[in-house]
């Protein structure tokens, strides 16, 4: 591997990872949060928090956007707050639908995608969208070097993202589920960094 390849790998090391807030992180936006890191490069880091449901449902949002809903299975499904940045911008975390693509889609891992275009909303409403999805308003972002510094400062844990936690685990259990996925007993997490 040459230096350029090594730098590219290093600069994107958190993409496709869960960023898990340490118990001592008191920021109201991120306390006990689990965030899927969708992109991480030399310019910074972009992610979507997956365990902050809001009072608005997916169907209510579709009504506001004048999107007719035929998909009965999404009724009552909550939208989520993805972070404090661009709270009016919608994002959909989803799995892959065979032979279906949408305009503004970013591949995060082999089986996780984020789409930020309206075409996927029409397909979800018509029951022609991805099998599993989360509808999220807003995102989280960090400038170049900021996330690395916060990880070194013991604000976050990170591990590979897990579709079961994203799509099949109750919101209130996602933080514990992500921590336990790392093989860590929540009761023994220390607030003190293990490095100088």
Domain of 52: which CATH number? 3.40.1740.10
127-151: per-residue pLDDT in tens?
999 999 999 999 999 999 999 899 8
For residue 177, CA distances in Å to 6, 15, 95 come to 32, 19, 20
What is residue 191's predicted lDDT score, i.e. its pLDDT? Answer: 54
Structural domain boundaries, residue 66: 3-186
| DSSP code at position 19 | E
Average pLDDT (118-122) is 96
Pairing state between β 105-107 and 133-143: unpaired
161-186: per-residue pLDDT in tens?
999 999 999 999 999 999 998 888 77
Q: Is position 193 within any domain?
A: no
Q: Is position 194 within any domain?
A: no
Average pLDDT (17-23) is 94
What is residue 7's predicted lDDT score, i.e. its pLDDT? Answer: 40
Q: Is position 195 within any domain?
A: no
Residues with Cβ within 8 Å of residue 180, at least 6 apart in sequence: 186
Q: Is position 40 within any domain?
A: yes
Q: Is position 191 within any domain?
A: no
User: Residue 95's closest CA among 56, 124, 54?
Assistant: 124
Look at 192 and 188; give whichever has higher pLDDT: 188
**150 backbone dihedrals φ, ψ, rounded to 5°:** -70, -35
| DSSP code at position 87 | E
Average pLDDT (11-39) is 89
Q: Is position 141 within any domain?
A: yes
d(CA 101, CA 76): 26
Q: What is the mean pLDDT of the chain?
A: 88
75-106: per-residue pLDDT in tens?
999 999 999 999 999 999 999 877 788 999 99
Q: Is position 135 within any domain?
A: yes
Q: Is position 149 within any domain?
A: yes
What is residue 122's predicted lDDT score, i.e. its pLDDT? Answer: 96
Give the number of domains in the chain.
1
What is residue 189's predicted lDDT score, i.e. its pLDDT? Answer: 67
How many beta carbons lie within 10 A of that of residue 2, not counting itself?
Answer: 7
- The SS3 call for residue 151 is helix
What is residue 151's predicted lDDT score, i.e. its pLDDT? Answer: 87
């Amino acid at each position: 591997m040459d230096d350029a390849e090594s730098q590219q790998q290093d600069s994107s090391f958190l993409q496709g990872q869960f960023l898990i807030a340490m118990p001592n992180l008191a920021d109201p936006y991120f306390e006990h949060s689990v965030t899927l890191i969708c992109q991480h490069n030399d310019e910074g880091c972009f992610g979507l928090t997956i365990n902050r449901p809001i009072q608005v449902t997916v169907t209510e949002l579709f009504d506001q956007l004048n999107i007719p809903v035929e998909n009965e299975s999404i009724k009552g499904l909550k939208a989520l707050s993805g972070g404090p940045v661009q709270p009016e911008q919608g994002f959909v975390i989803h799995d892959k639908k065979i032979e279906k693509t949408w305009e503004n889609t970013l591949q995060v891992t082999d089986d996780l995608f984020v789409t930020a275009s309206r075409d996927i909303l029409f397909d979800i409403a018509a029951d022609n969208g991805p099998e599993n999805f989360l509808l999220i308003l807003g995102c989280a972002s960090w400038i170049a070097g900021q996330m690395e510094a916060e990880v070194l400062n013991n604000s976050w844990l990170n591990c590979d993202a897990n579709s079961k936690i994203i799509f099949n685990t109750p919101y209130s259990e996602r933080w514990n589920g992500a921590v336990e996925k790392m093989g860590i007993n929540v009761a023994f997490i220390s607030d003190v960094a293990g490095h100088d």
